[in-house]
Amino acid sequence: MKILITGGSGQVGFELQRQLCLLGTVMAPSRQDLDLADAVAVDRWLYSHQPELIVNAAAYTAVDRAEDEPVLARRLNAELPAQLAAYCASRGQWLVHYSSDYVYPGSGETPWQEQDATGPLNVYGQTKLEGDEAVQASGCAHLIFRTSWVYSARGHNFMKTMLRLGRERDALKVVSDQVGAPTPARLIAQVTALALYKGATPAPSPLTPHQRSAHPSPAKRSPLTLHMPSGIYHLAPRGETSWHGFACEIFRQVRELGEPLAISPGGVAAISSAEYPVPAARPLNSRLALTRLEQALGLCMPDWQEQLSLTLAEVLAS
């Protein structure tokens, strides 16, 4: 099976390449090989390489810059998923697509269910929602994983920024009224792989010339038969914290590992979102209910603190 992973150089895309290689031949074209902002180039690449499964980890993720670049954000977050979904729909193939907690309005304190009303607060969230809706409207078989606060041992993310600042400064101010679950890219890729491995079907034996003449070629279809319904699933660890709580836990675990820090144990001050103005409004409530995913795959998602420990160990060992 030929698998296209878009955004292969990003945090999630990199982990997907490591997890999905057992399913088939992974194709993860670089930006030089395929400009995802160019719709014509994407069409040409698809029809030239004919992937049998598409895993779309590409996205415009610069939340604040999206306010000034809505056209590019919409191309990558909405139009590209629509284009990939149309390709998959025409061939009876699966599309895996990643979305965001930012599609919700961020009110209240109750974890969001997949069927809850959406209400993005910024351009990034709006374009991600448009991408979700386009995939659903395409008619293709799909898994849309909505996740939150993605970080990893590579790339630019909150955890790595805190590690750097914690070594340089003795005091920091971090927002404490936005609540969610920090999600490592590794976990996203592992859950994706589990969903796909459970649905993998063995390749049929080649037909003899006589069999081919007696049985005309069937219509193109996916080599996967997933045993979970097509639709939207929340993908995050269990538990919740604020950005302030996340920062404090990073520093606590790093100290336990014996790593030197300039930041003092009480040096992380909690501030409100209003005290840290940014161009794009952020949701205060990014809690995601996990029941649908856990029941579909028969698993129990791990705690966010455990996942942080694994990711920190990877960073510090490098």
Assigned token pair, 317 = 């060992």
Query: How many angstroms separate the Cα of 293 from the Cα of each of 148, 187, 284?
Result: 15, 13, 23
Q: What is the pLDDT of residues 274-291, one digit of tens each?
A: 999 999 999 999 999 999
The per-residue pLDDT for 212 is: 43
CA angle 68, 274, 120 (to 5 degrees): 50
* pLDDT tier for residue 221 given thresholds of 50, 70 and 90: low
In this prediction, what percent of the chain has a pLDDT beyond 90?
Answer: 86
Structure tokens at 277: 């103005």
Token pair 């009480």 is found at 266
3-state per-residue secondary structure call for 276-301? CCCCCCCCCECCECCHHHHHHHCCCC
Q: Please, what is the Cα angle at 99 between 96 and 100, to 5 degrees?
A: 155
pLDDT of 228: 87
Q: Is the pLDDT of residue 199 over 90?
A: no
Per residue in 118-160, pLDDT tens?
999 999 999 999 999 999 999 999 999 999 999 999 989 999 9
Residue 220, pLDDT > 70, answer no
Task: Tell me the three-class secondary structure of 78-132, residue by residue.
Answer: HHHHHHHHHHHHHHCCEEEEEEEHHHCCCCCCCCECCCCCCCCCCHHHHHHHHHH
Q: How many angstroms from the chain centroid is the CA of residue 119?
A: 19
Contacts of 52 (CB under 8 A, 6+ apart): 1, 2, 3, 24, 91, 93, 222, 223
pTM of the full structure: 0.91
Question: According to the model, what pLDDT value does residue 93 have?
Answer: 94
All structural domains of the chain, each given as residue ranges with its CATH number in brackets, are 2-317 (3.40.50.720)
Q: What is the C-alpha to C-alpha distance for residues 196 and 54, in angstroms, rounded to an integer?
A: 11
Is the confidence at residue 223, as pLDDT, over 80? Answer: no
Task: Tell me how far apart the alpha carbons of residues 48 and 27 are, in angstroms, rounded to a whole number.
Answer: 12
Q: What is the pLDDT of residues 97-122, one digit of tens each?
A: 999 999 999 999 999 999 999 999 99
What is the structure's pLDDT at 224? 72
Of 55-59, 80-84, 265-269, 314-318, the poorest mean pLDDT is in 314-318
Query: Looking at the predicted structure, is the pLDDT value of residue 299 above 80?
Result: yes
Residue 200 has pLDDT above 50, yes or no: yes
Output the average pLDDT for the chain: 92
* pLDDT score for 244: 98
> Would you please indicate which residues are annotated as catalytic (active-site) residues?
124
Query: 317 falls in which pLDDT band (50, 70, 90)?
Result: confident
Report the percentage of the chain scoring pLDDT > 70. 93
Q: How many C-beta atoms surround the C-beta of residue 315 within 10 A?
A: 15
Mean pLDDT over 53-76 rounds to 97
pLDDT surpasses 70 at 204: no
Which pLDDT score is estimated for 207? 41
Q: At what angle do helices 304-317 and 158-168 cross, to 10 degrees?
A: 60
